[in-house]
């Protein structure tokens, strides 16, 4: 009987410990520049801000947006518009011939090859029209 009581208490303690671990891991403390502490979940529901930065979720965006200068542009990750970054991450060997392509992100890509590089990073990207945006 004593053994059953000890086993029951041990199992109860382990369940309580597991619940505390799950609760603690679902919270994320994010500290901003002014030592403001924000409690946000670790839920990944990305938002793209007007500064081109992807924030993990709306709570983290709001925590970083103390002066209210930033706006949420859309839900989801921000699309790459930095042509140098596109070029540096591209697995293709593109020449530098000028045959501009305007993407649906309103970025002018130097040629179709560079546009395809951008599509590797942003699969939803389409050609808006040939020529500069």
> Which domain-ending residue is among 75, 91, 111?
75
pTM score above 0.85: no
pLDDT tens column, 75-126: 988 776 556 666 666 777 887 777 889 888 877 888 899 898 888 877 788 9
**Number of domains observed in the structure of the chain:** 2
Label residue 33 by pLDDT band (50, 70, 90). Answer: very low
Instruction: Find the CATH number of the domain harbouring 53.
Output: 3.30.60.30
Q: Which domain holds residue 42?
A: 2-75
pLDDT tens column, 7-19: 677 666 667 665 5
> CA-CA distance, 81 to 60, in Å (whole number)?
23
List, in order, residues 6 or more apart from 114 with CB less than 8 Å away: 83, 86, 87, 90, 94, 101
- Are residues 95 and 56 part of one domain? no
The predicted pLDDT at position 126 comes to: 93
User: In 1-133, which residue ranges form alpha helices assigned H by DSSP?
Assistant: 2-25, 58-64, 83-89, 112-121
Reduce the DSSP state of residue 85 to 3 states and report it: helix
């Amino acid at each position: 009987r004593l053994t059953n009581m000890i086993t029951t208490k041990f199992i109860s303690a382990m369940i309580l410990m597991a619940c505390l671990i799950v609760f603690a891991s679902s919270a994320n403390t994010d500290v901003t520049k002014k030592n403001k502490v924000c409690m946000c979940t670790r839920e990944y529901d990305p938002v793209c801000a007007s500064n081109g930065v992807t924030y993990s979720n709306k709570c983290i965006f709001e925590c970083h947006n103390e002066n209210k200068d930033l706006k949420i542009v859309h839900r989801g990750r921000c699309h790459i518009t930095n042509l140098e970054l596109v070029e540096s991450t591209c697995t293709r060997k593109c020449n530098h011939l000028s045959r501009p392509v305007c993407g649906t992100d309103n970025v002018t890509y130097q040629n179709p090859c560079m546009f395809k590089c951008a599509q590797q990073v942003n699969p939803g990207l389409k050609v808006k029209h040939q020529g500069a945006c």
